[in-house]
């Protein structure tokens, strides 16, 4: 049961949805983001059953002496016949059934002269175990006997004399059942102590992750705190939800400095409920070469009317200037020259494009001297750029969604199955970097964890 060891790895998986649409590496350090992840966690009772069955040997109890227990002239051996079965209760408890085969031998006689007869029979021993998770990463269990159910009752056959020995067997098994309760609690407490696993998992994030070699991008995650909802018990599984508050930092270029490892994991907090969906942020980079290619596909060699005359765009390119996007268009016809239109890149949710706002215009020409003509050209070319030019984000959003869902539907650790779905993906803000534009994308998603075969 190592699900806490892999728990924090999910934080990395969730945020490694950092996507890059094009092929040019910006050099930019993104802001430090305060985020949280919510993940429902399912623990099949078969996992706990496997742990208990591994710790309980086939031969559970053996009494090889006729003379102990006040010379009871009774021997007994008890075996586990099939795997121990667990069923979820309704009050944070697990019902445990242990199928047993019992061999018993009883002596009949007096003054040291005895006749011995053996028999074999089966019963099912029941237990009730309550489980609670303590906030220091350990669990508290309390196992209580829950009686027997006889499959076949024990009877010694001495020919004409048949002696039922149910009371003798039950007396011995009741005592052993009480001892077995302690064994169950000790084994579960030892194997479900997650403090060491929590320290190991937390320190995984001491070193930043190299999430993109193509863009030389690094992701540094710093867990802050963990919240867990109460355990919920069902027929074949235990459910809970995990909320992880983190700082997420994205870097490009050089590897950022590692964090200091911890020696012990801090206590987590309990909450009554957590939302099913969580928000994460990814990034997509659009280099100016791609922005230029988009502009050329839209405007190159196209003609536009201006009061009976026409202007043809001979060339166009896009680049950055300060914190603005510059569109430089070379024109001929009504205006022979170069128009410079700059703007602040923003996301237009209706057009699903990155467009320019707060546009500014500058003209470099040799054939226009009239102020009126300049104003006409300015109004026309600026409107064309504002209305028509934009960097489409639909493919970018689809690619980001696909990348994240691929990351969410994998088995990253043996026995840990992860399934997730993206419900909303939308660029939130647009940042400038020396080589292009970076879209910071908000993503709403769900993620479910299932443990199986750990």
DSSP 254: S
| 102-122 mean pLDDT | 79
Question: What are the φ/ψ torsions at residue 72 (nearest 5 degrees)?
Answer: -75, -5
CA gyration radius, the chain: 36
Cα separation of 14 and 141, whole Å?
Answer: 32
Q: Write out pLDDT tens, residues 397-417.
A: 777 777 777 777 877 556 667
What ranges in 268-357 are assigned the alpha helix state H?
Answer: 288-299
Report the pLDDT value the prediction gives residue 368, as an integer from 0 to 100: 56
Cα separation of 413 and 407, whole Å?
Answer: 13
DSSP 235: S
pTM: 0.60
Distance, first Cα to last Cα, the chain:
6
Report the pLDDT value the prediction gives residue 200, as an integer from 0 to 100: 65
Q: Write out pLDDT tens, residues 270-320.
A: 888 887 777 766 677 788 988 999 999 999 999 988 877 888 999 999 999
| 62-74 mean pLDDT | 77
Cα separation of 127 and 315, whole Å?
Answer: 81
Q: Is the pLDDT of residue 20 over 50?
A: no
Cα separation of 92 and 291, whole Å?
Answer: 58
Cα separation of 172 and 154, whole Å?
Answer: 13
Taking the CB of residue 247, how many other CB atoms lie within 10 A of it?
14
Averaged confidence pLDDT in the chain: 78
Report the pLDDT value the prediction gives residue 236, as an integer from 0 to 100: 84
Report the pLDDT value the prediction gives residue 405, as an integer from 0 to 100: 79
DSSP string, 137-154: S-EEEEEEEEEEEESS--
Q: Write out pLDDT tens, residues 315-337.
A: 999 999 988 999 999 988 888 88
DSSP 92: S
Confidence of residue 142 (pLDDT cuts 50, 70, 90): very high
Q: Which of 31-40, 230-239, 308-317, 374-383 is the most confident on average?
A: 308-317
Taking the CB of residue 199, how many other CB atoms lie within 10 A of it?
16
Confidence of residue 451 (pLDDT cuts 50, 70, 90): low
Pairing mode of beta strands 436-451, 33-44? parallel
| 123-140 mean pLDDT | 87
Q: What does each C-alpha distance from 156 to 54, 101, 107, 171, 202 come to in angstroms?
A: 33, 16, 10, 17, 60
Q: Is the pLDDT of residue 194 over 70?
A: no
Q: Are residues 422 and 405 in contact, defined by beta-carbon separation less than 8 angstroms?
A: yes
Confidence of residue 17 (pLDDT cuts 50, 70, 90): very low
Cα separation of 286 and 50, whole Å?
Answer: 51
| 256-277 mean pLDDT | 83
DSSP 263: S
| 76-101 mean pLDDT | 87
Q: Are residues 396 and 290 in contact, defined by beta-carbon separation less than 8 angstroms?
A: no
Q: Are residues 136 and 195 in contact, defined by beta-carbon separation less than 8 angstroms?
A: yes
């Amino acid at each position: 049961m190592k699900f806490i060891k892999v728990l924090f790895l999910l934080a990395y998986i969730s945020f490694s949805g950092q996507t890059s649409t094009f092929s040019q590496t910006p050099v930019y350090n993104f802001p430090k983001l305060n985020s949280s992840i919510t993940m429902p966690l399912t623990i099949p009772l078969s996992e706990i059953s496997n742990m208990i069955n591994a710790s309980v040997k086939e031969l559970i109890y053996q009494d090889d002496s006729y003379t102990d227990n006040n010379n009871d002239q009774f021997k007994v051996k008890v075996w586990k016949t099939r795997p121990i079965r667990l069923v979820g209760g309704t009050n944070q408890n697990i019902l445990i059934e242990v199928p047993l085969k019992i061999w018993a031998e009883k002596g009949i006689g007096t003054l040291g002269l005895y006749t011995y007869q053996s028999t074999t029979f089966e019963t099912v021993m029941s237990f009730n175990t309550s489980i609670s998770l303590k906030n220091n990463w350990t669990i508290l269990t309390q196992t209580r006997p829950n009686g027997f159910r006889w499959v076949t009752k024990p009877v010694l056959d001495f020919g004409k004399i048949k002696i039922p020995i149910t009371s003798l067997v039950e007396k011995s098994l009741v005592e052993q059942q009480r001892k077995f309760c302690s064994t169950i609690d000790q084994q579960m407490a030892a194997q479900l102590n997650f403090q060491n696993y929590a320290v190991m998992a937390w320190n995984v994030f001491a070193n930043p992750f190299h999430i993109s070699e193509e863009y030389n991008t690094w992701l540094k995650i710093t867990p802050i705190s963990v919240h867990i909802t109460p355990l919920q018990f069902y027929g074949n599984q235990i459910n809970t939800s995990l909320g992880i508050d983190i700082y997420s930092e994205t870097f490009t270029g050089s590897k950022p400095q590692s964090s200091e490892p911890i020696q012990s994991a801090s206590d987590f907090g309990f909450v009554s409920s957590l939302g099913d969906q969580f928000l994460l942020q990814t990034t997509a980079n659009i280099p100016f070469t791609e922005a230029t290619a988009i502009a050329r596909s839209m405007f190159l060699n196209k003609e536009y009317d201006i009061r009976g005359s026409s202007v043809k765009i001979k060339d166009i390119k896009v680049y950055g200037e300060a914190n603005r996007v510059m569109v430089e268009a070379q024109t001929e016809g009504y205006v022979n020259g170069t128009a410079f239109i700059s703007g602040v890149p923003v996301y237009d949710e209706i057009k699903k494009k990155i467009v320019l706002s707060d546009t500014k215009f500058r003209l470099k020409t040799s054939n226009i001297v009239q102020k009126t003509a300049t104003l006409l050209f300015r109004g026309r070319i600026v409107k064309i750029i504002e209305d028509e030019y934009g960097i489409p984000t639909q493919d970018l959003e689809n690619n980001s969604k696909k990348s994240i869902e691929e990351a969410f539907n994998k088995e990253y650790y043996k026995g840990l199955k992860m399934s997730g779905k993206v419900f909303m993906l939308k660029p939130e803000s647009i940042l400038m970097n020396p080589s292009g534009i970076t879209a910071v994308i908000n993503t709403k998603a769900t993620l479910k964890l299932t443990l199986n075969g750990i």
